[in-house]
Amino acid sequence: MTYLSGRHAIEFSKHGLNVTGVDISETFINGLTGKITSEKLNINAILADILTIKLNQKFSGAVCLGNSFGYFNIEK
């Protein structure tokens, strides 16, 4: 997911969800990290490429806002 400003991740966190977000942009991750600290949010912001990242944890759900799924090769 791309954070842009992190507004969706922030709102999910404020509603009590544990949020993990991935973005390839260091600028976006750094901006969100500042908001996480200042607002004491429960968000795990990861700098990585969604096409190659390996996460060693389980999730109860996933949300993709925007068009990020278009980056995946459906033949894989």
Give domain status of residue 28, yes or no: yes
Give the model's confidence band at 3: pLDDT under 50 very low, under 70 low, under 90 confident, else very high: very low
Task: Give per-residue pLDDT as tens, 34-63.
Answer: 999 999 999 999 999 988 999 999 999 988
User: Does residue 39 sit within a domain?
Assistant: yes
What are phi and psi for residue 12, nearest 5 degrees? -60, -45
Is residue 40 in a domain? yes
Domains identified in the chain, total number:
1
Instruction: Specify the pLDDT at position 2.
Output: 45
> Residue 47 forms beta bridges with which residues?
23
Quote the percentage of the chain above a pLDDT of 70. Answer: 91
Question: What's the rounded mean pLDDT across residues 10-16?
Answer: 95
Q: How far apart are CA 27 and CA 11, in angstroms?
A: 20
- Does 37 reside within a domain? yes
Full residue range of the structural domain in which residue 4 is found: 1-50
Q: Is residue 15 part of a domain?
A: yes
Residue 65 lies in a domain: no
- Residue 4 belongs to a domain: yes
